[in-house]
């Protein structure tokens, strides 16, 4: 079992899915707002996952918000949800934000209502964006 990679920006971990794609889960922290963000990326290789998380939005290597091709089903979302629920137990007096990279992902993330997450809508670049958040005491 691999361990979490801890950096100044947050923590991350890779998971190998049944279809031989990689899932990367990143929890990043913003100290100015006291908020943790969860980011999940599914790609064909660890390198693609890292490129998606680390490259700027103008880079041709970014797959952020794009489909990676293979049908992953719910496996990646199940793993991400399990890790999110474990993570909630380790932090206190913070807020956790989940923002989807596409409208399709935002619809999926609305199921977090079952776990106490609330929906927040705002405008970014003249487009409506939905975010799920939860305040952890």
Tens digit of each residue's pLDDT (9 = 90 or more) over 29-38: 998 999 999 9
Distance in Å from the first CA to the final CA of the chain: 30
- For the entire predicted model, the pTM comes to 0.84
Across the range 42-59, mean pLDDT stands at 80
Between the CA of residue 79 and those of 42, 93, 132, what are the distances in Å?
Answer: 12, 24, 18
pLDDT band at 48 (very low <50, low <70, confident <90, very high): confident
Give the pair of three-digit tokens for residue 4. 């979490």
pLDDT tens column, 91-128: 999 999 998 877 788 888 899 999 999 999 888 888 88
pLDDT band at 68 (very low <50, low <70, confident <90, very high): low
CA angle, residues 116, 114, 99, in degrees to nearest 5: 70
Q: What is the DSSP string of 52-116?
A: HHHS-TTSTT--TTS--SS--TTHHHHHHHHHHHHHHTT--SEEEEEE-SSHHHHHHHGGGGGGT
Q: Is the Cβ–Cβ distance between 52 and 46 less than 8 Å? A: no
What is the per-residue pLDDT for 82?
95
CATH number for the domain whose boundaries are 5-136: 3.40.630
Q: Is the Cβ–Cβ distance between 108 and 77 less than 8 Å? A: yes
pLDDT band at 70 (very low <50, low <70, confident <90, very high): low
Across the range 31-51, mean pLDDT stands at 89
């Amino acid at each position: 079992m691999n361990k979490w990679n801890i950096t100044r920006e947050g923590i991350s971990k890779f998971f190998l899915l049944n279809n031989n794609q990689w899932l990367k889960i990143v929890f990043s922290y913003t100290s100015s707002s006291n908020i943790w963000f969860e980011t999940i990326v599914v790609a064909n290789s660890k390198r693609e996952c890292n490129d998606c998380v680390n490259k700027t939005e103008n880079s041709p290597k970014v797959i952020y918000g794009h489909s990676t091709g293979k049908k992953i089903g719910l496996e990646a979302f199940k793993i991400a949800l399990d890790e999110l629920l474990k993570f909630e137990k380790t932090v206190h007096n913070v807020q956790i934000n989940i923002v989807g990279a596409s409208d399709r992902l935002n619809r999926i993330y609305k199921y977090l209502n079952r776990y106490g997450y609330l929906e927040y809508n705002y405008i970014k670049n003249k487009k409506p964006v939905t975010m799920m958040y939860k305040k952890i005491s």
